[in-house]
Amino acid sequence: MSRVTIVVFTLFYALCYSASCHAVTFDDCGSTLGKFTEVLVSGCKTSDEKCVLQRGANASISIKFTPNKDISAVNVRVYGVVLDVPVPFPLDKPDACTDPDDGIDCPLHKDQEYHYTTTLLVQKKYPRVNVYIKWVFINENKEKIVCIGFPAKVK
């Protein structure tokens, strides 16, 4: 193998490795009644280590998920976890079934994919802090349908 080939291969490997080390990952934080297949957050590039949430600006999230059983109610809970302490984030419309703008129509049916979207204002009063976001869909029995966790930075 020539030196040029080795150098190119090494650089390619290093770039791929470094991109994967710094890419935002969306974790399953305890889903029991479904699974998520796609998460998109505004201010979040796949090459970033954390999603950037700009104070005073809107942030949008889009989640595709599939329940593994029929579900009649979906409530949304959002937490910012700082120093291992989950702090609830108040939502204007936590009932996903009654919000006409989020894309969810209840009841949910087993093995059917759903696409939830919402936009929130990141308040200027929020501190500039690194935070782990937990976005949770809860059913009528308070069971987690889907739980998604990801690192973010409020700027």
pLDDT for the residue numbered 22: 54
Alpha carbon distance 98, 3 (integer Å): 63
pLDDT for the residue numbered 7: 28
Which residue would you say has higher pLDDT here, 23 or 134? 134
**What would the mean pLDDT of 41-52 be, rounded to a whole number?**
88
Task: Examine the pLDDT at 62 and tell me if it is beyond 90.
Answer: yes
Task: Examine the pLDDT at 95 and tell me if it is beyond 50.
Answer: yes
Ordered structural domains, the chain, with CATH: 27-154 (2.60.40.770)
Query: For all residues of the chain together, what is the average pLDDT?
Result: 87
Q: Is the pTM here over 0.85, yes or no?
A: no
Among 154, 151, 152, 66, which Cα is nearest to 115's? 66
The one-letter amino acid at 39: V
**What would the mean pLDDT of 63-70 be, rounded to a whole number?**
98
Among 51, 44, 48, which Cα is nearest to 22's? 48
pLDDT for the residue numbered 48: 86
pLDDT for the residue numbered 3: 42
Give pLDDT tens digits for 104-127. Answer: 999 999 999 999 999 999 999 999
Alpha carbon distance 146, 148 (integer Å): 7
Give pLDDT tens digits for 124-145. Answer: 999 999 999 999 999 999 999 9
